[in-house]
A and B are shown apart, each in its own frame.
Chain A
Amino acid sequence: MVDVTLQPNRVGTTHAARRRNGLRNALGRKSTVAFLMALPLIILIGVLVVYPAFYALHLATLNKSMSKFVGFGNFEFLFKREIFWMVVRQSCLFAISAVIFKALIGFIVAHFVHNVPAKKQRKWRGMLLVPWVIPPAMSTLAWLWLFDPSYSAFNYTLGLFGIGPISWLGEIGWARFSVILVNVWYGAPFFMIMYLAALKSVPEQLYEAAAIDGANWWQRIWYVTLPMMRNIIAITTLFSLIVTFANFDITRILTNGGPLDHTHLFATWAFRVGIESSDIPLGASVSLFMFPILAIAAVFILRDISKRGNEA
């Protein structure tokens, strides 16, 4: 990536550690300078990320007018409401199925792109990544129009085969399918690009060795490709799980939670409750339910990424 003329050198990590000490000497109070250089970052994270995260916890314990401490009152209230459990189920269904399909499609497409002669790969890659590049709010509008109740281009096409019309966003089942479809459309290219990078990093010699050992196409994927890609697959999947679980744009524009709140996710419902209905504490409580899944995924990602963190 970075064009550096230097070859990987013989000096190990112990040496790297030594060097830092020497460099510290090189500029008197180097650590002070370094701290100042990182200070804007620290302030930004502290004031606009860490503080609001804890503030959300505080808000969740207040009543609607934010005048009284109610402890777990908001949560008790949520647990009693049918719609809350519907949101939980829909969030899980949405996130898990969307991530599975994104991962599968991404993996398959990455393989196909990888099969194509190297010169043409760029072109295909370029086309297939377009969904990821368009701002999701914009592309979801196109889907909304494709799913339009009276002018749906899909229904027009299906009608030519005598199928439909399908009420894409009007029926609960189809609406759920549609939001997942759009999310898969948007997110699969990312998996594709990550897997493609991983595929390229598998040394060709391993495949040659496997071929000589008599492995067939499937065995090569199972015994060579997948183990070599395991790390990237894990990290990409966990990442995607977090952002899919926290998704807002697609559902908001496509169904706005409907029909009858059946496609609400935590994010869209929190927006509905917290901003549109001005019940900020309840909205904060809802959005906090995204935290556990986030924390679990983060722990796993950190485990994988810690190597890189140490290097850096």
Chain B
Amino acid sequence: MSTVAIDKAGPTRKIKYRSMSRDRTWALRWSYFFLVLFAIFSLTPPIYMLITSLKSSAEISAATNPWWVFHPTLSNYAELLTSNQFLRFFWNSAWISIIVVTITMLISVPAAFALARMKFWGSATLATGVFLTYLIPDTLLFIPLFKMFALFGDWTGIQLINRWYVLLFIYPTLTVPFCTWIMIGYFASIPKELDEAAIIDGASWFQTLTRIFIPVALPGLIAATIFAFTVSWAQYLYPLVFTTSTDQLVLPVGITTTLIKGDVFNWGQIMTGALLGAAPPLIIYAFLMDYYIAGLTAGATKG
């Protein structure tokens, strides 16, 4: 259809073509110009973190050119990485994130499989409910949740407030709905014939899930895992509410509460801590960018 139209436009085509290619060259130049601008805007804070982290306190307070390191030093890194307290934050964050990822996958993958393939009473409602749950922000729930866990401690004597593992109960409320939702999407995109073939081949439902669905939807599973990890790692409000003792803190809260001591801001260390705190998600992103982006666009993530 379009070829016919092009043939008709034959005589004028050459002139138009030339102007179009010139347009394109200019469009490309402008694109690069603005992309450079936006890239500078995007990367300024992390780069500034890196610059500051390499400065000594003396150089920072000397107020020299903030964009340049005159006497680079790794002392901030050395200090933090040998500080028991900082390592404690780091391990708390790491353990919580890893356990939460595991819990999330154990809950959401079977649930997504059930919702995508095994219709039961109320399953359609539940799928919608999962999605709605995902829309409820943490800032709406932190007060009732805090009170609930406080009361739970009063009633049972099991104190969960100010214990890092209380977060293992709470983080899944952020990760499970989204992971379930995108896994439903990935599972639903697997042709029905594939599980029918598996059933005829003699596979049980469990075998269909583990030997067909999980391998086939592996990209989705990776995307969901990355999401669960980054959400757990970055979560700030819940640990701020639920944990107060320094040995129970996770990295983001630890850095903002302990490194900022009164009016004395040790910016070299704060930036080093922030950079180290940003490192795990950034490293994962660097290696698994495509999965990361797939997960982001698959479920229309929070933004």
What is A's interface to B at a CB cutoff of 8 Å? 1-4, 6, 9, 11, 16, 19-20, 23-24, 26-27, 30-35, 37-38, 40-42, 44-45, 48-53, 55-56, 59, 102, 105, 108-109, 111-113, 115-116, 122, 124-139, 141-143, 145-146, 148, 150-151, 153, 156-157, 185, 187, 189-191, 193-194, 197, 205, 208-209, 211-212, 217, 232, 235-236, 239-240, 242-243, 246-249, 252-253, 266-267, 270-271, 274-275, 280, 283-284, 287-288, 290-291, 294, 297-298, 301-302, 305-306, 308-312
Contact = CB atoms under 8 A, between A and B. Distances in A.
Contacts of A157: 67
Interface stretch (B73-81, B83-91, B136-144): B136-144
Interface of B: 1-2, 5-6, 9, 20, 23, 27-28, 30-32, 34-35, 38-39, 41-46, 48-49, 52, 60, 63, 65-67, 106-108, 110-111, 113-121, 123-124, 126-133, 135-148, 169-170, 172-173, 176-177, 180, 184-196, 199, 204-205, 216-217, 219-220, 230, 233-234, 236-237, 240-241, 252-253, 255-256, 265, 267, 270-271, 274-275, 277-278, 281-282, 285-286, 289, 292-294, 296-298, 300-303
Given A33-B205, A208-B2, A141 B271 contact: yes
A306 to B, nearest CB: 8
Contacts of A139: 45-46, 274, 278
Contacts of B135: 239, 242, 294, 297-298, 301
Nearest to A16: B192
Given A30-B205, A59-B147, A153-B66, A42 B126 contact: yes
A302 B135 CA distance: 10
Given A128-B38, A139-B46, A151-B60, A145 B115 contact: no
Contact of B128 (A131, A132, A205, A302): A302
Nearest to B5: A212
8 contacts: A2-B186, A6-B193, A41-B130, A55-B144, A143-B45, A146-B44, A191-B303, A209-B2
